[in-house]
Amino acid sequence: MEEMATLKGQLVAQEAAREAEIAAQLSAQDDKMNMIFRALQMSGLQIPMPAPDLAPLSTSQPLRPIDTQ
């Protein structure tokens, strides 16, 4: 039982470390994207961003995969 508790504690610690690493990577990516956006704004370069599709989904038909053929 003691060994199981130790192993469980190690797993929890590893998971927490993995989550912290992922959070740090996402934060670094956000920082890079912010730097790119600031540089684009400062340069005056206009890059159109795609408009989000805000149309509500129809509930009368089930969702189907997009036909790629």
Predicted local confidence at residue 69, as pLDDT: 55
33 closest CA partner among 21, 20, 19, 47: 47
Predicted local confidence at residue 31, as pLDDT: 92
Domain that holds residue 37: 1-46
- Identify whether 56 is part of a domain: no
- Identify whether 65 is part of a domain: no
> pTM for the complete prediction?
0.50
Q: Which residue numbers in the chain have pLDDT < 70? A: 52-69
Predicted local confidence at residue 42, as pLDDT: 87
- Identify whether 55 is part of a domain: no
Distance CA 21, CA 23 (A): 5
Task: Count up the domains in the chain and report the number.
Answer: 1
